[in-house]
Amino acid sequence: MTLNCIAVDDEPLALGLVCKFIEQTPFLNLVGRFSSAVEALKAIHSQKIDVLYLDIQMPDLNGIELARVLGKGAETPRIIFTTAYNQFALEGYKVDALDYLLKPFNYEEFLRTATKAHSYFELVNRPAAAPTTVVVESERADDQYLFLKVEYQLVRIALDDILYIEGLKDYVKVHLRNTEKAILSLTSLKALEEKLPAKRFMRVHRSFIVALDKITSMTKNTLQIGKMNIAVGDQYKDAFTQFVGKWI
């Protein structure tokens, strides 16, 4: 798979280096180089671009602003920011950047991000598996894993390992069994609730989703998973009471 790329940087030397690295990478195809985000925007709307190597600090329209203009549609190019300022890392994360190159960077660092982009597109463009005659097994396979974006990469998480998920404003913390370190991802609890199978997970509080099979004890108002006690919110009590009723 070859990825079409555009490089955008208002510094001629930096732009030249990124273009050189793109051209010497076999699976990347340089289709445009621009010194301003405004010029690049026109090109992005006129042809299919897979990866956008984008500087952040530029006049008129900076890289973060361009990323917001492009949005997050299926046809939107994935962005790899190139900048000398590491304080923009969080902003890059919020606009769903694929990766972040801190200047000055060498070809080894560039190739790492390019390889990540290639792996990403192979994953999203992978043909769907042929339909199986065993429908129940197919549904079960779909319920085995969850993909979350963690530090500019997609991480596969086995649903069997999830104990509970905690909402923290713009982030979620996924607490897993057999490890004390939770996984932090920039997404919402509501978005995860829609992805998780309802037969295995339940929203019990505005800040918590729990794995039903990991509950060790419960009352009508609280539940316990391991050493963690979680209160059941008022708006979720009816659904939780119905669940408790099945076991009483």
Residue 99 confidence (pLDDT): 83
Say how many Å lie between the first and final Cα of the chain, rounded.
Answer: 56
Give dist(CA 65, CA 95) in Å, integer.
Answer: 9
Do the domain assignments include residue 192? yes
Domain enclosing residue 176, as ranges? 136-245
Give the pLDDT confidence of 228-243 residue by residue, as tens digits: 999 999 999 888 888 8
- Residues 155 and 238 both lie in one domain: yes
Assess whether 9 and 116 both reside in one domain. yes
Domain containing 74 — which CATH number? 3.40.50.2300
Half-sphere exposure of 126 (CA within 13 A, CB side): 8
Would you state the pLDDT for residue 122? 84
Check whether residue 42 and residue 117 sit in a common domain: yes
- Residues of the chain with pLDDT below 70 are 72-74, 85-95, 126-143, 152, 246-248
Structure tokens at 40: 């690049």
Residue 93 lies in a domain: yes
What letter does residue 246 receive in the DSSP assignment?
T
**Which of 101, 124, 147 corresponds to the end of one domain?**
124
User: 120 and 7, same structural domain?
Assistant: yes
Whether 148 and 102 map to the same domain: the answer is: no
- 130 found inside a domain: no
Answer with the one of 93, 124, 155 that is the final residue of a domain: 124
Residue 73's pLDDT is 63
Same domain? For 102 and 163 the reply is no
Query: Do residue 232 and residue 156 come from a single domain?
Result: yes
Of 90, 124, 158, the domain-final residue: 124
- 79 occurs within a structural domain: yes
Cβ(48)–Cβ(4) below 8 Å: yes
77 and 152 belong to one structural domain: no
Residue 162 and residue 238 in one domain: yes
- Does residue 174 share a domain with residue 115? no
C-alpha–C-alpha distance, residues 176 and 160, integer Å:
9
Report pLDDT for 68.
84
92 shares a domain with 61: yes
Give domain status of residue 231, yes or no: yes
Predicted pLDDT of residue 1: 85
Q: Smallest Cα–Cα separation from 78: which of 98, 95, 102, 55?
A: 98
Q: 100 and 143, same structural domain?
A: no
CATH of the domain at 234: 2.40.50.1020
Q: Count structural domains, the chain.
A: 2
What are the C-alpha distances in Å from 146 to residues 49, 73, 166?
A: 27, 21, 16
Q: Is residue 69 part of a domain?
A: yes
Whole-model pTM: value is 0.52
